[in-house]
Amino acid sequence: MTRAREVAEAFAPWTGLVTGVVVTGIVHQFGSDGVFNDCRAVSPGPLLIVGVLGIIACALSGFASWRSTSGLANEASRVIGIVSTGMSILFIFAIVLAMVAVLVLPPCFG
C-alpha cells in the first residue's frame, strides 16, 4: 500500500497537465466525430454535457495539482505543480471556447 501512495504522491503535481491533455482531447474528439459523421443530426446538448464533464475533470485535476504544491519540499516538483495547475486552467478555457462555438456556429458551418 505504501508503494501505491508513493506513486500517487509523485504523480500529484502532474495531474492537471496529464488529465487536462487527455480530457481536452476526448472533448475535442467527441465534438469532431459528432460534426463530421452527420452535421445535420448533431445537437448541442450532448456536446455541452461532455464539455461540462470535461471542465469538471480539468478543474478537479488542477485542484489536485495545486494542493500537491504545498507539501512538497522539492522545488522542481513545486514548479511542475504550479505549471500543471495553470495548464488545467488553459484547458478549461479551450473547452469553454469549444462550447461557445457549439452554441454560436451552425452545425454544418464551412
pLDDT in tens, 35-76: 666 666 667 888 899 999 999 999 999 999 998 888 766 888
Q: Confirm whether 109 is domain-assigned.
A: no
Q: Confirm whether 16 is domain-assigned.
A: yes
What pLDDT is stored for residue 20 in this prediction? Answer: 95
Q: Confirm whether 110 is domain-assigned.
A: no
> What whole-number distance in Å separates Cα of residue 44 and Cα of residue 34?
10
pLDDT band at 1 (very low <50, low <70, confident <90, very high): low
Q: Can you say whether the dihedral through the CA atoms of 31, 32, 37, 38 is positive or negative?
A: positive
With a pLDDT cut of 70, the percent of the chain lying above it is: 86
Distance of CA 10 to the CA centre of its chain: 20
Q: Confirm whether 59 is domain-assigned.
A: yes
Q: Confirm whether 38 is domain-assigned.
A: yes
Q: Could you say which DSSP state residue 22 is in?
A: H
Backbone angles phi, psi at 108, to 5 degrees: -105, 40
CA-to-CA separations, 35 to 29, 42, 51, in angstroms, rounded: 10, 6, 15
Q: Confirm whether 44 is domain-assigned.
A: yes
pTM of the model: 0.86
What pLDDT is stored for residue 100 in this prediction? Answer: 92
Q: Which of 92, 85, 74, 90 lies closest to 9 in space, CA to CA?
A: 74
Domain count, the chain: 1
Helices (H), 1-110: 2-11, 15-37, 44-70, 75-104
- Domain boundaries, position 42: 2-104
